[in-house]
């Protein structure tokens, strides 16, 4: 029986091994989709033109803008970025600039992170029990750190041992999860990946990771018949023998 099939059978038998590391998506998994789409994205869009006027000459921003030329030759950087925002494109230059705008917002106190109520208590319990926690999101590593540094409970960045964005690879590519397992120094089967996206879970499963879909009722995420699922992190803890708050 292939490894992925053995893991699924173990879950059905209630005998799944406790993971040593948990890799988490953000949007729809630990943070509400509404927070990302109705707060963070509009915040960046409304401030994009002003941000470019103030920072376009800085080396990292200038490099990001130059990287946009092949995306839309002849278009202005502002026009290209607005179009990419409209399409929720997962490309590095956009994510870097969005992250910089959010950093200014968090520093000014205009933004505060929002997590589902179960998330921080459960992550604290897992962290205290020795489980390694890591994030893998299409948002930049810098933006990921901002969310935890500016949590409603204060700076929670110590909970997360590693951050990964699409610089390590696309989220639907099994090779990305193999690379993450190597960086975490853990055998793939010892890592549990949590996401609301069935396609991402399929890629992680193909790489040998244990997976569980987060199906939150408030986001109306359809449950995949191909993967185990839970409504929140508390349900994940019960299913995989992890600590609970």
pLDDT at 149 (0 to 100): 97
DSSP letter (8 states) at residue 231: S
pLDDT at 156 (0 to 100): 98
DSSP string computed for 5-67: HHHHHHHHTT-PPPPSEEEE--BTTTB-HHHIIIIIHHHHHHHHHHHHHHHTTSHHHHHHHHT
Q: Kindly tell me the sign of the dihedral angle through the C-alpha atoms of 26, 32, 34, 38.
A: negative
Q: Are 5 and 226 in contact (CB under 8 A)?
A: no
**What whole-number distance in Å separates Cα of residue 245 and Cα of residue 241?**
13
Rg (CA), the chain: 19
Return per-residue pLDDT of the chain as tens, 245 residues. Answer: 344 554 554 444 444 679 999 999 999 999 999 999 999 999 999 999 999 999 999 999 999 999 998 888 888 999 999 999 999 888 889 999 999 999 999 999 999 999 999 999 999 999 999 999 999 999 899 999 999 999 999 999 999 999 999 999 999 999 999 999 999 999 999 999 999 999 999 999 999 999 999 999 888 788 999 999 999 999 999 999 999 99
pLDDT at 55 (0 to 100): 95
218 φ, ψ (degrees, to nearest 5)? -70, -20
Task: Give this prediction's pTM.
Answer: 0.89
pLDDT at 69 (0 to 100): 86
The contacts of residue 184 (CB under 8 Å, 6+ apart) are: 21, 23, 132, 134, 161, 162, 191
Name the strand (E) or helix (H) holding 103: helix 92-107
Which residue bears the tokens 């926690």? 133
**What whole-number distance in Å separates Cα of residue 51 and Cα of residue 220?**
35
**Domains of the chain with bracketed CATH:** 3-31+114-240 (3.40.50.1000), 35-107 (1.10.720)
**What whole-number distance in Å separates Cα of residue 122 and Cα of residue 124?**
5
């Amino acid at each position: 029986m292939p490894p992925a099939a053995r893991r699924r059978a173990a879950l059905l038998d209630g005998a799944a091994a406790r993971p040593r590391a948990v890799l988490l998506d953000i949007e729809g998994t630990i943070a509400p989709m509404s927070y990302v789409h109705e707060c963070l994205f509009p915040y960046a869009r409304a401030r994009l033109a002003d941000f470019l006027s103030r920072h376009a000459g800085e080396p990292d921003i200038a490099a990001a803008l130059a990287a946009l030329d092949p995306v839309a030759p002849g278009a202005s950087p502002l026009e290209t970025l607005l179009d990419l925002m409209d399409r929720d494109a997962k490309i590095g230059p956009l994510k870097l600039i969005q992250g910089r705008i959010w950093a200014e917002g968090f520093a000014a106190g205009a933004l505060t992170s929002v997590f589902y109520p179960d998330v921080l208590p459960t992550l604290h319990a897992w962290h205290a029990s020795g489980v390694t926690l890591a994030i893998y999101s299409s948002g930049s590593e810098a933006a990921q750190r901002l969310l935890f540094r500016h949590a409603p409970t204060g700076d929670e960045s110590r909970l997360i041992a590693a951050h990964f964005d699409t610089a390590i690879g696309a989220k639907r590519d099994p090779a990305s999860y193999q690379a993450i397992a190597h960086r975490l120094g853990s055998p793939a089967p010892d890592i549990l990946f949590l996401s609301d996206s069935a396609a991402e879970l399929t890629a992680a499963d193909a790489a040998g990771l244990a997976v569980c879909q987060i199906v939150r009722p408030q986001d109306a995420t359809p449950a995949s018949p191909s993967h185990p699922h839970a409504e929140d992190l508390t349900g994940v803890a019960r299913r995989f023998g992890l600590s609970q708050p």
